[in-house]
Amino acid sequence: MLTEDHKAWGYTSSTGLGFTRHTIVDAHFRACETPYLGLLEQAGIRPGAHVLDAGCGAGDFLPHIASLVGDQGRITAVDLAEESVALATARLGESTLACPVDIHQGTLLDLPHPDDTFDVAWCSNTVQYLDDDELDAALAELIRVVRPGGLVAVKDLDAHLITARPGDPYLFGDFFRAASATSGYARQLLRTRDLYQRLRRAGLTGVRQQTVLIEHHAPLSPAARDFYPAACAQLAAQAVRLGLSAHWQRFLDPGAADHPLNDPDGYISEGNVLAVGTVPRLAH
């Protein structure tokens, strides 16, 4: 899970994992909230369900999951970072949700829950931090704690669809290809479109998958401006160290007047994948 390359990505939390600090995670959620919630609605969460939010971060999805399960439902949330759990708990205390919510620290590789506890496991922007063996172990844990006939829903970023304009349309693709030669995290961000295969091999049935393109055009919304220039600067710093295209220089300073996202034709996109499968029922 934790490798040396995460330091280069920046925005680490106490876990040491890149892009897990709540400030950048919250900014990303706000920038992509509408498509994120659209994918949540496609996960199959029903009123009255007991949902596990596996990798809840600071709790951005919790109010929206609560609205789906209603007052007859229940949410259990778990995250690896102690400070994220503390912040999600504090936010919970400042709001009134439609159902009971329990938040605690833990790892997806060893969930502290009995078998068949949940109706649905929702796991968002979390498996990108797991290597292949850890991903298989986490899926096995999610399947273990979800009842037969229940759902496991995994949403994550697909780096293949990250691009920015104006500029070289292959700039980001070339970066991720080059970075993946030495960075486990980069490889894992390029693995997302294969989630359906991993869910099938884990034993889930009726697996379905959809990929959405999330696009932002200039002038960027305040939420998009809070996230994308800063995120691009972190990638640009790595790209420069790797000796990649000089075009990356324009992304180094988020506030620069000639930054591509400040251009009247500025544009940036990313992809998100939702893969959902059903825990098989026991044979009689």
The pTM for the full model equals: 0.96
Question: In this structure, are residues 3 and 243 in contact, taking their beta carbons and an 8 Å threshold?
Answer: no
Q: What is the pLDDT of residue 2?
A: 64
Domains of the chain, by residue range, sit at 6-278
| pLDDT at residue 128 is higher than 60 | yes
Domain 6-278: which CATH class?
Answer: alpha beta
Highest mean pLDDT range out of 5-9, 90-94, 140-144?
Answer: 140-144
pLDDT digits (tens, 9 = 90+) for 65-103: 999 999 999 999 999 999 999 999 999 988 889 899 999
Pairing label, strands 267-278, 205-217? antiparallel
H-run or E-run covering 57: none
Return the pLDDT at 284.
Answer: 43
Q: Order across the sheet with 267-278: list the strands.
A: 101-105, 74-79, 50-54, 118-124, 146-165, 267-278, 205-217
The pLDDT value given to residue 150:
98
Give tens-digit pLDDT for 191-237.
999 999 999 999 999 999 999 999 999 999 999 999 999 999 999 99
